[in-house]
Amino acid sequence: MLRGLIDPNRAMLRALPERNMQDIYVDANNNYMLSYDNTSGIKQSTSNALCQTATSGGHASRAHYTNADEFVVDVMRPVMINGLAEAAARQDLIDRLIQVELQRIDRATVVPESVLMARFEAERPIILGALYDLSCRVQQELSTMNVTELPRMADFGLLCEAITKVYGWNHSLLDVYNNNRKGAMLGAMDDERIIGILLKWKQCIRLPIEMTMKELLLGLKAYGGQGKITDGWESLSDEEMDMTPRKFGGKLREQQEALKEAGCLVEFLGKRRGHSIVRISRP
């Protein structure tokens, strides 16, 4: 129904393309809003494509049946994804999301789809008109917005503040959005045991501290692999125990913003004598 307000289509809900990320760009090139249904997991290449689609990105590939022609798409589209489980796992995608957890519908209130859609169609002009009115008022306020700290989705952050001003709310919609982001990012860290061990390890040392990536990784492996963590689920897996400094550095960069939200500031200071240097402190 949300998509039906602004971008009606014969196939409102579609399966998320997983085999070929080019299909996402094709969807974006032919629709103003993307909506993917019953998603249970998003692999890395698909996650990257969704990030580009949400914040503007281009894709080019060889056009079919040609040797020299390109198929080029440069788009920015809103994307809706639903599923029983949290599909997004990578922090760069999570930082672009608004997560909404819906409550299970009471069977006593369930109505046939025909009845639901009839009610929606009756209300559609009112809903759409209200959105148009809000859009006009928000556009008038956007030029007056002065926000000192914006999230990655900076334009959306300004939009949140403009909506807050239009409605005269006492609470900031931007604060609500930031809390939503923070909760989602911290929740995703629960699946990264070595990151959880880093958060516990930093509580036992004097900060700030600088060391090589290899030294940090070896310290965490020693701390997490010798029974010093009381929560059994946080012990490191064999794969994490075999992790290289380069791979661990990539993991830290991916989780950098979430770690900051958790009270752990990670800074990458370049290389010294061929070794990557990292600084751990409190924000």
Return the pLDDT at 238.
Answer: 67
Assess if residue 123 is contained within a domain.
Answer: yes
Strands, E assignment, 14-170: 34-36, 57-62, 70-75, 79-81
Last residue of a domain, one of 132, 162, 189: 189
Return the pLDDT at 230.
Answer: 47
Last residue of a domain, one of 171, 189, 207: 189
Assess if residue 99 is contained within a domain.
Answer: no
For residues 145 and 166, membership in a common domain is answered with: yes
Return the pLDDT at 233.
Answer: 43
Model pTM score: 0.81
For residues 183 and 197, membership in a common domain is answered with: no
For residues 204 and 275, membership in a common domain is answered with: yes
CA torsion 51-185-241-283 (nearest 10°) is 110
d(CA 73, CA 227): 52
Return the pLDDT at 205.
Answer: 86
Question: Up-side HSE of residue 31: CA atoms within 13 Å toward CB?
Answer: 25
Chain-centre distance for alpha carbon 240: 24
Structural domain total, the chain: 3
Return the pLDDT at 266.
Answer: 95
Assess if residue 53 is contained within a domain.
Answer: yes
The list of the chain residues with pLDDT below 70 reads 62-68, 225-238
Average pLDDT in the chain? 87
Return the pLDDT at 237.
Answer: 67
Return the pLDDT at 148.
Answer: 86
User: Which range marks the domain in which residue 229 is found?
Assistant: 193-281
Return the pLDDT at 216.
Answer: 92
Residue (of 248, 142, 143) closest to 194 by Cα position: 248
Last residue of a domain, one of 155, 189, 223: 189
**pLDDT tens string 44-73:** 889 999 998 988 877 777 666 666 677 777
Assess if residue 101 is contained within a domain.
Answer: no
For residues 184 and 237, membership in a common domain is answered with: no
By the 10 Å C-beta count (0-12 exposed, 13-18 middle, 19+ buried), 11 is classed as: exposed
Amino acid code (one letter) for 124: R
Q: Say if CB 81 and CB 87 are below 8 A apart.
A: yes
Assess if residue 13 is contained within a domain.
Answer: yes
d(CA 267, CA 190): 21
For residues 48 and 129, membership in a common domain is answered with: no
For residues 11 and 72, membership in a common domain is answered with: yes
Return the pLDDT at 234.
Answer: 54
Assess if residue 85 is contained within a domain.
Answer: yes
Amino acid code (one letter) for 104: R
For residues 250 and 220, membership in a common domain is answered with: yes
Assess if residue 62 is contained within a domain.
Answer: yes
